[in-house]
Amino acid sequence: MTAAGRIGVVGLGYVGLPLAVAFAEAGAEVVGHDVAETVLTALRDGRSHVEDVTDEALAAVADRVTYTADAGALRRCDAVLICVPTPLTVNREPDLGPLRAAVGSVAASLRPGQLVVLESTTYPGTTREVVWGALARPGMVAGRDFHVAYSPERVDPGSGPRDPSVPKLVGGVTPACGERAVRLYERICERVVPVSSSDAAELAKLLENVFRAVNIALVNELAMLADRMGIDVWEVVDAAATKPFGFMRFDPGPGMGGHCLPVDPFYLSWRARQFDFPMEFVELAGKLNQAMPYYCLSRIERRLNDAGLPVRGSRILLVGMSYKGGVGDLRESPALKILRLLLERGAQVRYHDPHVPEVGEPPLRAERDLAAAAAACDLAVIVTAHPDVDHAAVASAAPAVLDLRNATPAGDWPAVERL
């Protein structure tokens, strides 16, 4: 690799685009590849579609980044980073279609000396079996003639620009592959943590997210029990969090969203079954988190019933539609499921979200005046707590509030009921 180097990034989403900018800021020439022409057109015009990458950041590196749909341009790169989605099928099994397509494009332009790194979250063995398997050529040996590694993304959407202080895990399919990848990421990361193999790095990434998913499932189940026992679960969590050791705080909520937490447990459990090892604990946590919107629906029904109202015909305002506060990402958002369940039961549903202008087809558009929308509803349900939303205004204006996020400020709010 030359002093500056040429880096290819396949997939210019919330993982790939920040990486492309980071390497360009480090002085590399970057080839950004994507199959979505709308994305490429916007980026060429200097408009970012990723909330954590500003238009100003794109402008600062515009002379060092090329955006293209031509996979052949990757042949000129010293390293190619694959950052494509790894979703689930309708049967909650890994869908590697986007990854296989991306790897096929990289394989068609592979040249001796290149490093190929997979960044997408996936099950252990994917880099070896899918990526390395597709790149293998007669007479070309991995670790000598080309290199293959896995380095999982650790992006925190909504937290701002990519943080170089977050340690980067790297595992190669051979030791030489791992060493090559470590040298690459040392250019943009303050600390690179090598592990023995790509399989170990893949499992470490799944552990990070499954750990969160399991603990969220635990506190969600506790919230349901506390409700039945007439105990304030938020008081319980606050009290337990005062312990300075042996406890890590997790908060209950309407379910999990985003790409990672709702997906990764199923990647791990699917792979484990291939080794005749059912991960019942992980699967149970996934099922419980998937069921939380239905529990929240029962709480909505009960709240309306207390006011003598049926779901059908009631005016319900959902506050927050994205999966996480501060972002507009709708992937796997529990608010979408709650919205669908309410519409199926005949409710008149509106929503407010400053980050999501419209949802659904035909589109349902966001209410701009939060206070007016809250005053006009029968029940306001706080599903996602955006930091730039005045939840006190909701508590003051709405005749009844169901707060699923403990977002309303402390104090005497007779209309507010919490999860």
3-state helix, strand, coil in the chain (%, to 5): 40, 15, 45
Nearest to 404, CA basis, from 215, 391, 183 = 391
Is residue 77 part of the annotated active site? The answer reads no
Amino acid occupying residue 342? L
- In sequence order, the 6+-apart residues with CB closer than 8 A to the CB of 185 are 151, 168, 170, 192
CA distances from 165 to 91, 168, 192 (A): 37, 9, 10
Active-site pick, 77, 83, 189, 260? 260
With CA atoms as reference, report the closest residue to 373 among 349, 355, 356, 357. 349
Q: Judge contact between 22 and 188, C-beta under 8 A.
A: yes
Which amino acid, residue 88?
Answer: L
Host H or E run for residue 352: strand 348-352
Residues 76-99 as b/e (b if ≥16 CB within 10 A, e otherwise) read ebbbbbbbbbbebeeebebbbebb
Q: Which helix (H) or strand (E) holds 305?
A: helix 280-306
Q: How far apart are CA 389 and CA 91, in angstroms?
A: 36
Cα–Cα distance, 299 to 363 (Å, whole number):
26
Q: Is 271 buried (19+), middle (13-18) or exposed (0-12) by CB count in 10 A?
A: buried
State the Cα–Cα distance between residues 81 and 92, nearest whole angstrom. Answer: 26
Catalytic residues: 260
